[in-house]
Amino acid sequence: MQDDLAVALRLADAADAISLERFGAADLHVVAKPDLTPVSDADLAVEQQIRALLEQVRPEDTVMGEEFGSGDETARRRWVIDPIDGTKNFVRGVPVWATLIALFDGDEPVVGVVSAPALARRWWAATGLGAFASFADRGAVPCKVSGVTDLADASVAYSDREEWIRAGRIAGFDALLASAWRTRGYGDFWSYLLVAEGAADIAAEPELNLWDLAALVPVVREAGGVFTDVGGAPIGPGSVSALATNGALHEIARATLAPAE
């Protein structure tokens, strides 16, 4: 596990070198994908570089990436890559974006690295090895979830209320927000890492792709939290939603988000 984590951190270094150089570039090339979400030349270059490095150091493993698809989906070891999570931020000059790198061993993500070079921050974890964060020139600091036990005292992080409307789950989501002490739309990867750091207590999204969440799971879990889909099922290859909490609030958050009978 330590060796795989070292590989993931090396991949993140390579990704940062490309993405940070392209961030804010006057000649950044951006096009719309078929689903109308943007993709930049940086997204493509980062994923290509990660795939090339994995071919050198882990040639037997398969790779699933947002931009170039997946290899053997039946393989036990699968790297899941989001080259730039938060591309809309990236192309508009907002520094809240990151490269997400995960390794699945079977149905479970066991390594996760999230690197946000424009924020000078990085988070990483592997099963049994703990979760850590670094900021600017500071060394690694362990991540630990909060001790909040009452929803009325909780801080809830999310991305976009409109997503819950489209998913037909707005009633439960609004109930969660109304019950909490504080709510903020930090968005994308950052919401979940705030949970891992203990700065937020609950983060959730109703519709995601696997590459949006896989790398976040080990970080939250190793920090002492719980990470499932919105219905409470374990995160696996077929997961399409996310609910991360400090653990103490997980069941009440899940129940509040559940659609009415």
Residue 84 labelled as part of a binding site: yes
The pair of structure tokens assigned to 238 is: 């077929």
Distance (Å, rounded) from C-alpha 149 to C-alpha 111? 28
Which one, of 135, 99, 121, 139, lies nearest residue 8 by Cα? 99
Residue 66 labelled as part of a binding site: yes
The pair of structure tokens assigned to 225 is: 């939290």
Helices 2-22 and 41-57, packing angle to 10 deg = 150
Q: What is the DSSP letter of 134?
A: E
DSSP letters of 165-207?
HHTT-HHHHHHHHHHSSEEE---HHHHHHHHHHTS-SEEEESS
Which helix (H) or strand (E) segment holds residue 237: the answer is none
Q: 142 by DSSP, 3-state: which? A: strand
Residue 72 labelled as part of a binding site: no
Distance (Å, rounded) from C-alpha 25 to C-alpha 161? 31
Extract the annotated binding site: 66, 82, 84-85, 212
Binding region for Mg(2+): 66, 82, 84-85, 212
